Amino acid sequence: MVLPFFHIYAFTVGMMTGIWIGALQIILPKYDVDQVLTAIRDYRPTYFPAVPTIYVSLLNHPKLKDYGLEHVRTFNSGGAPCPVDVIEQFERTIGRTLYEGYGLSETSPVTHSTPQLARRKPGTIGLPLPDTDIKIVDIETGTRELAIGEAGELCIAGPQVMKGYWNQPAETSSTLRADAAGRVWLHTGDIARMDADGFTSIVQRKKDMIIVDGFNVYPSDVEGVIYTHPAVSLAAVIGVPDAYHGEVVKAFVVMKPGASTTAAELTAHCAVSLAEFKLPREIEIRETLPMSAVGKILYRILREEQRVKPGVVNG
């Protein structure tokens, strides 16, 4: 385990799972790719929960295949959506399935998981756990249930949903809402869509959605295209204010070791798959991206950095 136990994902999927089954837990104080690979080689763990950026880091290691990752039975990704390109590359390289799941602190935390003994759909968070119901509602009012395939806010009802926020009645009433039948649903704040088979895909946090000329742009859609470029290691997309369009798309990109490209080449790469209003108007190539202790990209820091810059982007 290289994830901090104060994070709900590491606390339950890592520490509590290990205690429940009586497993030896290999705990590293901080993430260092060489230390992680050495621990995998020396201890031969059978289960490895991590976040997407850790899998990206592992894939970028030049001697990844020398550390015996094929002996790990289960790899799990959580904490943030994992790009399909990363999943496919990892599975091709290691020969093991990379499972995904989804949950929140407010749901104790797991609500969805990739089926292990049935059909799976890479890029989705899988199916709801037993006794867990979900629905997708419109973003504007949160009351109208949407049709299959439409993107809206994910709502969850089940035994794992919290009772409320401690001493925060206003926040509780905004997040936990009863429907016409009196059933209480947790409004997650995540934009998602569900297919005809019940598999759910997380599109974006509602607050992270970008609106360009009245059109909704989901940063994860743009990031997914950027990740398919062979030189890209990490990508993060935000909306920045624009005098004409309201907002436009800006991308921050980190290259793989030894790889190089230009902002113009990345823009051309995006133009093949994205509509004009979704294209990044600016691509900033950086050495690193701000990360949390859990390995999540800190979008709020990128937005704050952009906010304090003088002027606005004009399209």
pLDDT in tens, 216-264: 898 989 999 999 999 999 999 999 988 888 899 999 999 999 999 999 9
Give the C-alpha separation, 111 to 134, whole Å. Answer: 9
pTM for the full predicted model = 0.79
Instruction: State how far the alpha carbon of 80 is from the alpha carbons of 169, 236, 307, in Å.
Output: 28, 12, 24
**Res 315: pLDDT:** 44
Q: In the chain, where does the domain assigned CATH 3.30.300.30 lie?
A: 209-307
Q: What is the DSSP string of 119-188?
A: ---TTS--EEPTT-EEEEE-TTTS-SBPPTT--EEEEEESTTS-S--TT-HHHHHHHEEE-TTS-EEEEE
Tell me where in the chain the CATH 2.30.38.10 domain(s) lie. Answer: 130-205
Residue 169: predicted pLDDT? 95
Q: Which CATH superfamily is domain 209-307 in?
A: ANL, C-terminal domain (3.30.300.30)
Note the CATH number of domain 8-96: 3.40.50.980
DSSP three-state, residue 50 = strand
* Residuewise pLDDT in 10s, the chain (315 residues): 888 888 888 999 999 999 999 999 999 988 899 999 999 999 999 999 998 889 999 999 999 999 999 999 999 998 888 889 999 999 999 999 999 999 999 999 999 999 988 899 998 999 999 999 999 999 989 999 999 999 999 999 999 999 999 999 999 999 999 999 999 999 999 999 999 999 999 888 888 889 898 888 989 899 999 999 999 999 999 999 888 888 999 999 999 999 999 999 999 999 999 999 999 999 999 999 999 888 889 999 999 998 887 554 444
- pLDDT of 6 reads 86
Whole-number CA gyration radius for the chain? 20
Q: Outline which parts of the chain fall under CATH 3.40.50.980.
A: 8-96
Give CA 200 to chain center in angstroms.
13
Please tell me the class of the 130-205 domain.
Answer: mainly beta
Please report which helix (H) or strand (E) contains residue 249, including its range: strand 246-255
Bridge partners of 268?
A: none
- For residue 296, the model assigns a pLDDT of 86
| Six-digit token string for 306 | 């952009």
User: Using the 8-state DSSP alphabet, how is residue 49 labeled?
Assistant: E
> Which residues contact residue 134 at a Cβ distance below 8 angstroms, ignoring those fewer than 6 apart?
111, 112, 128, 154, 155, 156, 157, 194, 200
The pLDDT of residue 248 = 94
Rounded Cα distance between 236 and 98, Å, is 22
Which pLDDT value is given to residue 20?
Answer: 94
**Distance of alpha carbon 43 from its chain centroid, rounded?**
29
